[in-house]
Structure 1
Amino acid sequence: MFGIRADCANFRTKTVPGNGQNPFFDESFTFYTHFPEMALLKFTVLDDEFIGDEFIAQYTIPVDCINTGYRHINLLSSAGNKLAGCTLFVHITATHGADKAIDDTTKCLINNLSELAELKFNVETALIKFKEACDVGSVANIKYCVRTIANRACNAKGLTIKLVKSSGLPTFIISDGTPPDILKKALQAYLAWCKECKTLIDNGEPIRKTLLEIQALLRTIQSEMNSYVEEANLSEKKSQKALENFNWNMRVLKEQLTSLDQYTETCHSSFLKVIEAAQVNGVEVMTETES
């Protein structure tokens, strides 16, 4: 960034090796401007493995002309000529100094929601792999998968299978023989799914606690939103947009809290269904002390 001395700053992303087409720069940078009317923001793309000249493309834009949100930046040559098919896809946010409390809270919210989304994705992915290992359809339930495991164990000669409730996880134990590959694959996928469920249950509670704290803080900020908007000296259209975005974040937070509770309950109930299905299909169920 170029401008008055206090506004000048320079950031550089890490090199994305071996990807000359559509490289992904998963980094974010924060610029602080005291005089945005005099500041210019320049994007420059360089080649770390250059021969002769590292320059690839660039684009410079006045800071007060920057629009927030997801944007395509059409890059130019050093002479200012447009380069076909050469763009940067970026996400830009801009905040007023008075909105720092909102900005910090939103960043914390995004981090926790990202972690929550990853936990849910891991559970869903592990469940899909478990069903595939059992050769059942995607609409099949957990009890049907357990029935498949029990049948495969029953069809294997000289094999004994038990279900042991260990450390909160209902774990299948094979004894008196070596399980066939088809059964071993299903048991490995089952254990991976159980571990992902347990991870969501264990890590979900502190995330839930943090989200509730953020929700309480946002409700406090919500009562002062009008004063924040006035201090930022926004136009009527931008003020309305800011209020809409804030209310949307509140709705997303509420929905994600509900989703977390549902996923946690589903994981707990799935473990109970595994135990019930094992008993129905003739699998001995034991506690860890009994085993």
Structure 2
Amino acid sequence: MKTKAILLLSVLLTNLAMAQDKEGSEDHPLIPRFGQSRIYDYEKVSFDRYNLATGKTTDYTQLSSKKTIEGEITKIYYTISTSDATTFEIYRNYMNALKAKNAEILFECMDNSCGKYFLDALSKDASFLIPAYYGEKFGYIAGKFSKDGKTYFVTVFAGYGLGEQGYEIHVIETEDMEQKIDLDGIEAALNEEGKVSLYGILFETGSATLKSESYTEIALVADYLKRNPTEKVYVVGHTDNTGGFDSNMSLSEKRAQSVLEALQSKHGIQSSRLKAAGVGPVAPVSTNSTEEGRTKNRRVELVRNSSN
């Protein structure tokens, strides 16, 4: 009887917390709430642009780095009793949750490491709902993961101020990138992230022999390099984890070398501007437990080489 009473009390408390949520709001199905927090404010739009902060502030109004993405945007602002959680506890909880989803952490910071007036910059660029005075103590995370054919960008801001504790979660759901990319896409990715995945460069199974359809995307790479004559790049081969580690490492480097040689022989790109490397299965962008994930992991990347 005692166990049943405890369970009933737990259900009642959970229902009470949910009843205090803003009308029409709900948790995001992939990012659950922390503890006994409640939803104070909530917004959801089917499609819009979003500025994702990927670097600290350089001054009052400017982020040193940000990424503009498009998709369905959900914003949820939670409050929680200061006796139930600390800023760092919330921050660490969501960091662990994102890592458990094999998320790529694009940027994370706490307090002074975020730069001056960081929350003000978030409110301006990404329209955060959380009050500015929550910036007394705070932590920020920006992450990215894929699930069921979609890519999710997630930002978490946990903040404390004037004796109040809260956190805000933004989830931007986008369609996974098409397998091929255009010249402007290559340039934008290299400018924003310093690298670009080239899924249109394909090889025969278990081989470094390029398929004929690969030359279209290789030509785009050559066009980029001709448009930017001082640019140098690494051509990096990646595999999934099927097969032996040593064979995958060797195969990935041979595939990168094949692309490098095609850029030289077919497009006249100087060898001094190119360097091939293979990292096999050690830098996946998705899970290797599904065919969809393995397909994403088998790729060639172009990485900006800023060395002299």
Q: Which has the higher helix share?
A: 1
Larger radius of gyration: 1
Q: Which has the higher strand share?
A: 2
Do the two structures share a fold, i.e. TM-score over 0.5?
Answer: no
Task: Give the structure-1-normalised TM-score.
Answer: 0.24
Task: Give the structure-2-normalised TM-score.
Answer: 0.23
